[in-house]
Structure 1
Amino acid sequence: MHPAGRHHDDPAGDVVRWAAFSCLLVPVVLVVYGTSFGGAAVATLGLLAVTAACRVLLRHSEKTQRAAARVLSEEHLPPARRRRHSRGGAGGRRGCHASESPNPQD
């Protein structure tokens, strides 16, 4: 559980938890107010389907948002830091390569 006063790091998870709670509460309320068990069951299945679809869409949206934020943060880095896989480290292209490798294509 999260300490009191601290905001949750997963707002989509909060929405899904409330939706799941509603999926349990709504059929009980419907039955108490005179709806048949079959009608309450159909309502529950509909709510579960909508909740599942919303969960999938929220998770997809979060992934897309994180990917966009990562791209934006990489665009603001200096060019030397953007390259992740340099061949020879920091100074890999400096100096004479003939003494390092007998292959003339290097």
Structure 2
Amino acid sequence: MKNHSIATVMRRELEKVLPKDLTAEQVKILDQAENLFKQAYQAGFNEARLSGGEEWSNNACLGYAILGAEKLKYSEEQTRKLVRSMYGVFDLTSVGEAREVYNKSSY
């Protein structure tokens, strides 16, 4: 998700809980908070890149799975099934949930 999208989502959530009769000064404060959220997100992203952190993606995860399957000498069909199965799980499972499954596993 792009940083402006996160800020937009956060702002919409704030608007749900804030009174409808906000003053111009209160709206200005919300705009300033939105800009600070954008800056904080960008700073964290840049820090991760500078400290050797790499961008994670579903495609990177699938690449790891393919490499592992090749190392185990899976057939092309077995690898295809593994990749399709994993791809289907991406929409149903958050990164945090997947991490917990791994952390609780015996692997």
Taking structure 1 as the reference length, the TM-score comes to 0.36
Taking structure 2 as the reference length, the TM-score comes to 0.35
Q: Determine which structure has greater relative contact order: mean sequence separation of CA pairs < 8 Å that are 6+ residues apart, divided by chain length.
A: 2
